[in-house]
Amino acid sequence: MPAFKLQPNRQVPQSKAGILQWLHKNLFTNFTNSAFTLIALYGLYLIVPPLANWMFFDATFAPVSNAECGRNGACWSYIIEKLDLFIYGFYPPEQIWRPQLLVALSLGLVLLAKLLKNNKVKIIAWMIAIYPIIAFLLLHGGLGLSIVATYKWGGLMLTVVIATVGIVVSFPIGILLALGRQSKMRIIRLLSVIYIEFIRGVPLITILFMASVVLPLFFADGFNVDKLLRALIGITMFQAAYIAEVVRGGLQAIPRGQYEAADAMGLSFAKKIGLVILPQALKISIPNIVGSFIALFKDTTLVLIIGLADILSMVNLTSNDELWLGRSTEGYVFVMMVLWIILYSMSRYAKKIELKYNTQQKN
């Protein structure tokens, strides 16, 4: 019987490709990709070093005056000096603790919802019912708190308020409009189509002007409508039409068999839509819904046209200060970075939700 000789153990093959293989696979696959890669690298070489020098290496971060700032780099002292205006606008300095408390309360509710996963629905329901009242009382005043008129609101706080109200209020209205456009009742379908197509055919700036100038004409004499409320109504009307089309696309993507299955189970129309059709449609529409919300957040900067001092308008106001003339560039860069952080966070969170509710079976 022949003797068997044991072979030496072999090393496990490397599962990860090296840096050279990654570069070849992703950037230098062929001549065309290599050419575009080199052009992109040259463009970054022309842009990144001067920008980095201006923003960081030659910049001034110490709290000094405009005259003491260097002319070759950014003067972030201007942002430090005007930071309260960028965040809170003309909100009274002695009352700034109120929006700060509201932010702390919001973060606490989010953390509580994370920790108490079993009661998340109750916490969300409480937020929907009670949180807006608490937010209004803290920001505007009442019940012992001094009143802060809305024309004193501004900066990032005003931007977040407008975007949040626009998103939260327009979302259910958009769903109702989408369902109305799919309705078998002709009058409801016709009214929904007229509203959606009219609003989508008009620029947001026109809607804001109409809400600011025309809307008060529909109220009785002596009834004054707050300028911020008018802007919120206009933005909500505008965003609801776009949400309606996004949700309608999700509804049309649902297979007909889902409707038939719900009918076969004897579900009422409300249960069929609320328990079977709408959850699937919203899941499909998550990327487009978030895209609409991000677009709305950016479009809130248009409220400066009707006299509301959002974070972007604060750049013009603060850079016209005689002590900080010529520093608008730093203001625009700061606003860009703040908005990018907020919108990127929204995008990443939406991606997380999309993956969480992805029920597609992958082979």
pLDDT, residue 3, reads: 60
Structure-block tokens of residue 310: 């959002």
Instruction: Give buried/exposed letters for 320-332 (b at 16+ CB in 10 A, else e).
Output: eeeebeebeebbe
pLDDT, residue 2, reads: 58
Structure-block tokens of residue 41: 């690298």
Task: Work out the burial of residue 346: count CB atoms within 10 Å of its CB; fewer than 13 is exposed, 13-18 middle, 19 or more buried.
Answer: middle
Instruction: Give the integer Cα–Cα distance in Å for 289 and 284.
Output: 9
Instruction: Give the integer Cα–Cα distance in Å for 339 and 154.
Output: 15
SS3 label, residue 153: strand
pTM of the model: 0.82
Give me the helix-helix angle, 227-253 and 155-181, nearest 10°: 40
* pLDDT averaged over 10-residue windows placed end to end, the chain, 363 residues: 64 64 80 89 92 88 82 86 90 91 86 73 74 88 87 90 91 92 89 92 89 78 80 91 91 85 83 85 87 89 86 87 84 92 88 75 45
SS3 label, residue 75: strand
pLDDT digits (tens, 9 = 90+) for 24-33: 777 888 888 8
Backbone phi, psi, residue 230, to 5°? -60, -45
CB 297 within 8 A of CB 204: no
Beta bridge partners of 310: 155
Beta bridge partners of 155: 310
pLDDT digits (tens, 9 = 90+) for 183-216: 888 999 999 999 999 999 988 888 888 888 887 7
Give the DSSP letter of residue 89: B
Set out the domains of the chain in order of their start, with CATH numbers: 86-148 (no CATH), 154-356 (1.10.3720.10)
SS3 label, residue 284: helix
Instruction: Give the integer Cα–Cα distance in Å for 87 and 154.
Output: 7
